[in-house]
Structure 1
């Protein structure tokens, strides 16, 4: 059965501005204002979902969505790197960062490897019933969805950018997806 999946990347936070692995960070004032400005622009069809992070839940609320948090939509688990800046980690653990960027199965931070993240997101997509799903999820998950939908090698993940408050849409089913990515949310 065909499913339409609309993914929305969350609004801006200070951690994103600082290239810091998120953790539990609230939207900053600019992010909250931007999300509220586009509230009401999303189709209300289907059931709204959200990743469990504070940033995703606050974005869903600001967009006017009564979204259900789903554990399978959690952000990439970067273990002990959570809350730290990438520049700091690169300075103190350059070999670990190099391994993490080069090998999809590496998890030097003690969290989830890119391969494990891809498998988790693929299971979630395969579990979706037909119909429409709208979900506010972290950019890492959207990047993995694109990699999975197009059957790309996991390394492609690092070549994809997902701006705040952008739409990525899939239609299809577990074995065959069509992709529409990067549509901005705009007021009016």
Structure 2
């Protein structure tokens, strides 16, 4: 019977039994040592789990060579941010600068002309104005204005409305079968 009970007793139980048997300062010291041991053991197991997770993340690259074609690189200071094409709402030109806007509403300065970008970008990007190219998959609403023009409300976290010029109205009509 005693051997069966000893099989269930671990180091923590033995220290607790000693604490109960040893009164006073020594008992408190043993209790503090037990708590510190348990905390260290818990932290060590968490660190092992974190390292294993990091190793798994390092083994699987986030962007493979095939997937890199789904992103457009944008310079931000001394770093390059990769933005998925399906998260780009529009490209707009003004004052000799071209800005790329993503679905969060953040604008990025682009080192290229609008005509060059229009050629590089996938076919879901269409020109709607001499200074604007939009992602047709992110058009949420088309508003017809009284002067024969359209305003496009884009899908993004911040409401984004872009105007279509009369010379590009046919593209919008063909797109929405209007």
TM-score (norm 1): 0.20
More helix by share: 2
Could you say which structure has the greater relative contact order, defined with CA pairs below 8 angstroms and 6 or more residues apart? Answer: 1
More strand by share: 2
TM-score (norm 2): 0.21
Q: Which has the larger radius of gyration?
A: 2
